[in-house]
A and B are shown apart, each in its own frame.
Chain A
């Protein structure tokens, strides 16, 4: 494990009712990097995120800045780690500003008042996610993408160094998917925030993450830089579906194309299996 790693999981295991959900997960992430957690349904992505954010207690197996998450008090942990979960539909009409303002909670005692600096920071955080004109709008009236950006603004107000997101682009249209992920990458690279998120779309993960980890049946199948993790054979094995990997001409990002099983009978399908793997591509580049 690199010494500079801020987030570390060492031989992390987790079970519910004697059923192994995660087994022997080792992971490390440096400050200012974006980690995408990939895997099919039931692979253990959400459980891993809950353990990495301290929502679920591990046995001192997860460390943030060299200190086990269990050794942080809940308030101390909230100052370091922000979690962006999908908000359940609220019965009461909270405004965007009221939701974002809750990011202050870990920093405020019962008697402390909000000062000018707090208000400026609140406005700046909302501006950073591009929602200044919606500050007083009811949160539930915002679009899915705006809500997600609002919750990220709350994480900014929380002044957390690590932000953990469970499928942040679920249910968002393609425009907002890119907008939200671009925002997270910018925050990581420009403000040295560490971002950990689970994603279903491998191509989005390839475009916006610095590192990936691939889970299957609670086990870590691969982890590291995008080029290392995205291998056709591995992905085919994990997702049980043929695929090919190519580099996008325009963005130079890796792209994975999956082919549904019933298309295996397709006349062009045999060719698919012969598409070059990442290794081939890398060799091609170096040659």
Chain B
């Protein structure tokens, strides 16, 4: 087991290094080292390192880690191996929030409303993640309400409600974007596919505290989250406040997903796939699972991003296309495994 953890830590250390090394422009290892210590040989190399490669790798790692942790948490609290932020409606909710923020704070409609004093003077960069979080919380609340009224409140059945909510909110956010922006198609495609192409370093400074705070909280409550694996009734007999723990976990998933979707769109299947791989490697209990998801999820996203950047010579593939392609095959395998 220790060997496996050592391997995962090495993977998490080396994949960002490889991620920074690969790219259209040639940055040899010596030059990379010089850039790290702040002595890049040319202005262009400095720009490539600090403005393009490093933000991309840092944000990519945080996105992968955050989505995997959110997926693992959703799977454990619903006792359903097919749960992930996408299928649970959280991504769509965050997308809806982000779409509304885009309309209000980053479009002609927003400008008009601001002139009439109907919108507070909040910068778009702050309004975006906050709106995405509110959207994600709205989706989670809707899923909970639907599950409670239509599926008897059983955690295992929340996924069905999640899929319904996911389609509903996606349709709504795309409609809003088309309504408010004549050139909305690009934005819709961005939300649909997800991309790290527009990444900036300050994204990482917003994501880092959210991902770190979420991971620390989940590690702290790890033993109590494990009890949910026994089913709600059994967990209650162990003195666990099942409702409070589940709400806390859902809130964490909403925060993680929101800060990722707000800046990088909906990158699918990472939250579904990575926890399954981690379980096979380091076990099913929450603490091991969460740590494993940070290491493998982060590394996976950085490595996939290398493919996204370098697979085609003249353009970049949106990273969501690659994760969805890999994830859909994995999804089918997971269903098949459940049936056998």
Q: Which residues of B contact A111 (CB under 8 A)?
A: 220
Contact residues, A149-173 vs B (CB, 8 A): 158
Q: Which residues of B contact A90 (CB under 8 A)?
A: 79, 229-230
A94-B284, A98-B226, A110-B220 given; A55·B237 CB < 8 A: yes
* A115 vs B230: C-alpha distance when bound (angstroms): 24
Q: Which residues of B contact A94 (CB under 8 A)?
A: 229, 284-285
B4 contacts the other chain (CB 8 A): no
* A170 vs B79: C-alpha distance when bound (angstroms): 24
Contact digits for A125-167, partner B, Cβ 8 Å, 1 yes 0 no: 0000000000000000000000000000000001000000000
Return the chain A residue nearest B81 by Cβ.
A91
* A76 vs B283: C-alpha distance when bound (angstroms): 30
Return the chain A residue nearest B232 by Cβ.
A88
Question: Chain B interface: which size bin?
Answer: 20 to 34
Contact residues, A51-78 vs B (CB, 8 A): 53, 55, 73-78
Q: How far is the CB of A106 from chain B (nearest CB, A)?
A: 4
Contact digits for A88-103, partner B, Cβ 8 Å, 1 yes 0 no: 1011111000110011
Query: B233 near A102 (CB under 8 angstroms)?
Result: no
Q: Which residues of B contact A82 (CB under 8 A)?
A: 237
A55-B236, A87-B231, A111-B220 given; A74·B241 CB < 8 A: yes
Return the chain A residue nearest B276 by Cβ.
A92
Query: A88 near B231 (CB under 8 angstroms)?
Result: yes
Query: A158 near B238 (CB under 8 angstroms)?
Result: yes
Return the chain B residue nearest A76 by Cβ.
B239
Return the chain A residue nearest B78 by Cβ.
A91
Q: Which residues of A contact B45 (CB under 8 A)?
A: none
The number of residue pairs between A and B whose CB atoms lie closer than 8 Å in the complex comes to 72
* A78 vs B239: C-alpha distance when bound (angstroms): 5
Residues of chain A at interface, number, CB under 8 A = 31
Query: A105 near B229 (CB under 8 angstroms)?
Result: no
Q: How far is the CB of B302 from chain A (nearest CB, A)?
A: 27
A38 contacts the other chain (CB 8 A): no
A11 contacts the other chain (CB 8 A): no
Q: Which residues of B contact A102 (CB under 8 A)?
A: 223, 226-227, 230, 238
Query: B279 near A92 (CB under 8 angstroms)?
Result: yes
B330 contacts the other chain (CB 8 A): no
A79 contacts the other chain (CB 8 A): yes
A191 contacts the other chain (CB 8 A): no
* A81 vs B284: C-alpha distance when bound (angstroms): 27
Query: A105 near B79 (CB under 8 angstroms)?
Result: no
B174 contacts the other chain (CB 8 A): no
* A99 vs B237: C-alpha distance when bound (angstroms): 14
Q: Which residues of A contact B241 (CB under 8 A)?
A: 74
Q: Which residues of B contact A76 (CB under 8 A)?
A: 239
Q: How far is the CB of B241 from chain A (nearest CB, A)?
A: 7
A85 contacts the other chain (CB 8 A): yes
* A87 vs B285: C-alpha distance when bound (angstroms): 17
Q: Which residues of A contact B283 (CB under 8 A)?
A: 98
A119 contacts the other chain (CB 8 A): no
Residue from the list A75, A93, A99, A106 in contact with B230, Cβ < 8 A: A99
Q: Which residues of B contact A78 (CB under 8 A)?
A: 237-239
* A105 vs B238: C-alpha distance when bound (angstroms): 6
Query: B81 near A105 (CB under 8 angstroms)?
Result: no
* A53 vs B234: C-alpha distance when bound (angstroms): 12
Query: B240 near A74 (CB under 8 angstroms)?
Result: yes
* A98 vs B229: C-alpha distance when bound (angstroms): 11
Q: Which residues of A contact B226 (CB under 8 A)?
A: 98, 102
B281 contacts the other chain (CB 8 A): no
B53 contacts the other chain (CB 8 A): no
B221 contacts the other chain (CB 8 A): yes
Query: B229 near A85 (CB under 8 angstroms)?
Result: no
A226 contacts the other chain (CB 8 A): no
Q: Which residues of A contact B229 (CB under 8 A)?
A: 90, 92, 94
Query: A98 near B237 (CB under 8 angstroms)?
Result: no
A83 contacts the other chain (CB 8 A): yes
A108 contacts the other chain (CB 8 A): yes
Query: B227 near A105 (CB under 8 angstroms)?
Result: yes
Residue from the list B79, B237, B239, B284 in contact with A53, Cβ < 8 A: B237
Q: How far is the CB of A112 from chain B (nearest CB, A)?
A: 10
* A108 vs B224: C-alpha distance when bound (angstroms): 10
* A106 vs B239: C-alpha distance when bound (angstroms): 6
Query: A87 near B239 (CB under 8 angstroms)?
Result: no
Contact residues, B120-138 vs A (CB, 8 A): none
* A239 vs B265: C-alpha distance when bound (angstroms): 64
15 A-B residue pairings within 8 Å (CB atoms): A55-B236, A87-B234, A90-B229, A92-B81, A92-B284, A93-B279, A98-B226, A98-B283, A98-B284, A99-B230, A102-B223, A103-B238, A105-B224, A105-B240, A110-B220
B: residues with CB less than 8 A from A are: 75-76, 79-81, 220-221, 223-224, 226-227, 229-231, 233-234, 236-241, 279, 283-285, 338
Rank and list the top 3 A-B pairs by shortest CB-CB distance, nearest first: A78-B239, A75-B239, A83-B237
